[in-house]
Structures are given as C-alpha cells and as structure tokens.
Amino acid sequence: MNHDLTAGLGLKPIHYQEALAASAGGLWFEVHPENYMADGGPRLTWLERMGARRPLSFHGVALSLAADADPDRGHLARLKDLVDRFKPALVSEHLAWSAWRGAYHPDLLPFPRTRQALTRIAANVHRAQDALGRPIAVENPSHYMPIDGHDWDEIDFLSELVRRTGCSLLLDVNNVFVSANNLRFSAEAYLDAFPGEHVAEIHLAGHAEDPDLGRALLIDSHSAPVADRVWALYERLVARIGPRPTLIERDDDIPAFAELMAERDRAHAVLTTCSRGVAA
C-alpha cells in the first residue's frame, strides 16, 4: 500500500474545518487540481494547511488525454506548479477527453478505442509524465452508450497503455458497475480480469437512475452513498488484489461530514481487514 494511505475523501470546501480536525488513521484527501489553478486566494491557503496535516491526491479532469491533440501546455505547466508545491501522494487522470479545440467541456467524454487512439493517448500520457516528472494513474471511465469502431477491449487498452507508458491505473468500481449496467456486461467478469498489479488507487461513488430511462441508464452522478452492490464488488476486488488507497467520491447532494466519514471508515475496515488476512 502507498505509504500509510487507507481510505480517503474528496475535500469539500463546506467540510473544510471538520476535515482539517479529523483524526482517523490512514485518512487522506483528494482534490481536482483544476480548482486550485489560481494565482492565489483562500483555497490555496486551505490546501496548504491540509497538505501539512494529511497526504493529498490530485485527481485531474482536464488534461484531456484522449483528445487527438497535445495536452494544453499552459494547463500542464499549472499542474506541474501545483504538483511541485503540494507534492501529492497520488496523481491521476481519466481515459477520456474534455478539452477540445480550445473549449473545455466539464465532463469525461468517450471515444472509439482504436489503434490510433492508443498511439495518441500513450503519447499524451508520456508528455504529461515527462512534464510532471512522475507517473500518473489513469481511470476507467463510465459508459452510457455503445460506441462503434473499437479495436480494443477496455481492459486490454488500459493494459497496453501501462505497458507503453509506465503509468498506473485508477480503478473506479462504481464506473464499472454503471458501465456494466448500461452496456450489458458483467461487472464481476470485468473486475476479475482487471490487471490488479497496476492498480494504484480505487474509487467508490454513488450513482443515480436516469430521470427518463430509469434503471436502464445509470448515471455516475456522485450524488448518493455508495450502493450495496458496489460495496460487494469492492470487497471482492480487494480480496483478490489486496488493499489499495480507496476514495469515497461525492460531488452532489453533499451530506454531513460524519456521513461521508462513515462510508470512508467502511472502506478503511475492508482494507485493514484484508491486510490482516494477507499478513496471517
């Protein structure tokens, strides 16, 4: 396990004081570095204070690794400044695109996993890792609709990306659950086939049913507690690959800090129980 990181939480401004005072062992906090790309201001001051107490993780949303374009130089430079300043324990991004032809789309957009896409994304991961001076972890996306033209299965694509770039993987179990539901495949089979030795971090989050299509279309909304079936998948995964730093993600309908900590403590218990099992 990475240092002493067990389970972490996304850092929310409304929970800042409680998060700073939290005393749980193994606790760490994740932020989107894009929210800190300012010249100054109170957010950076808060992050300094938190970084002095707890390990941080930077989870980027805007490198746009899957765009058929080089990562934006200015963005990469700002990311490097933040990484150098805060020295996060983990740095991750997504197998998706968001910036395209000068416009930033606040979402993680899909693409056909072609040979050309793999070449391009590997080059972009190389560029990012060279600029940052460290490897990054790349996250499996949520899928909502079938895309034509894939040359690669997603797990093979990610494994090949690891082989070509030396990056690691961030495995989002809720994304697997949502995608398996929407594209009709087995979440268990996907997780069982995922290359566990390359997983640097795990994400857990809640999802929602589409208001029009209901259960047929689940949305990775980060607006609810982690679902029981996702917990079950997580326990199965950790039992197979061993403990990894695990994040509870929540971005909407944010509850009291204690409620998020209870979910975080549940993940912590899964990780530490598993560690004891491995040691015994």
Partner 1 sequence: MSPLAAWQDAFAAGLRGAEHPLAAHPAFAVYRNTVWKGWIDALEANYPAIAALTGSDWTRAAAAAFAEIHAPSCPMLSLYGEGFADFLVEFPPAGLLPFLPDIARLDRGWTEAHLAADVPVLGFGSLAELDAGAMERTRCRLHPSARFAWFETTIPTLWLANRTDFEGGELLLDDRPEGLLLARPAESVEALVLDAAAFAFLDASRSGATLLDCAIAALATDPRAELGSLLGRLIGFGAFTDFIPIEPEPPHVPA
CB of 13 closer than 8 Å to CB of 269: no
Rule CB under 8 A: say whether 262 interacts with partner 1: no
Strand partners, 10: 30
Number of Cβ within a 10 Å radius of residue 201: 25
Contact by Cβ (8 Å): 181, 145: no
The enclosing H or E element of 266 equals: helix 257-279
Q: Which residue in the set 25, 40, 133, 214 belongs to the binding site for partner 1 (CB under 8 A)?
A: 40
Task: Output the smallest distance, CB 251 to partner 1, in A.
Answer: 11
Residue 147 token pair? 């895309």
Task: Look at strands 137-139 and 90-94 and give their pairing.
Answer: parallel
Per rule CB under 8 A, count of chain residues that contact partner 1: 46
Q: How far is the CB of 117 from partner 1 (least distance, A)?
A: 5
CA–CA separation, 14 and 271 (whole Å): 27
The span from the CA of 161 to the CA of 155, in Å, is 10
Residue carrying the six token digits 């690691």: 168
User: By C-beta, is 82 or 202 nearer to partner 1?
Assistant: 82
Our CB check for partner 1 shows the closer of 119 and 278 to be: 119
Q: Which of 3, 17, 116, 192 binds partner 1 (CB under 8 A)?
A: 116
| Residue 224 beta carbon to partner 1: minimum distance, rounded to whole angstroms | 16
Selected range binding partner 1 among 23-31, 62-70, 123-131, 270-278, rule: CB under 8 A: 62-70
What is the x/- site pattern for partner 1, positions 3-32, by CB under 8 A? ------------------------------
* 131 touching partner 1, by CB under 8 A: no
160-219 positions binding partner 1, by CB under 8 A: 182, 210, 212-213, 217, 219
Cβ-Cβ contacts under 8 Å for 131 (sequence gap 6 or more):
71, 76, 77, 79, 80
Whether the CB-CB separation of 220 and 178 falls below 8 Å is answered with: yes
Using CB under 8 A as the binding rule, whether residue 68 contacts partner 1 is answered as yes
Beta strands (DSSP E) in the chain are: 7-10, 28-31, 56-59, 90-94, 97-100, 103-109, 137-139, 168-172, 199-205, 208-210, 214-219, 246-249
| Closer of 64 and 165 to partner 1 (Cβ) | 64
What's the alpha-carbon Rg for the chain, to the nearest Å? 18
Burial of residue 123 (CB within 10 Å: 0-12, 13-18, 19+) is middle
Nearer to partner 1 by Cβ, of 213 and 256: the residue is: 213
Nearer to partner 1, 93 or 263 (CB): 93
Interface with partner 1 in residues 219-248 (CB under 8 A): 219
In the complex, the smallest distance separating the C-beta of residue 107 from partner 1, rounded to whole angstroms, is 4
Instruction: Specify the DSSP class assigned to residue 10.
Output: E
Nearer to partner 1, 178 or 238 (CB): 178
Q: Which chain residues interact with partner 1 by CB under 8 A? A: 34-35, 37-42, 44-45, 61-62, 67-69, 75, 97-107, 109-112, 114, 116-117, 120, 144-147, 149, 182, 210, 212-213, 217, 219
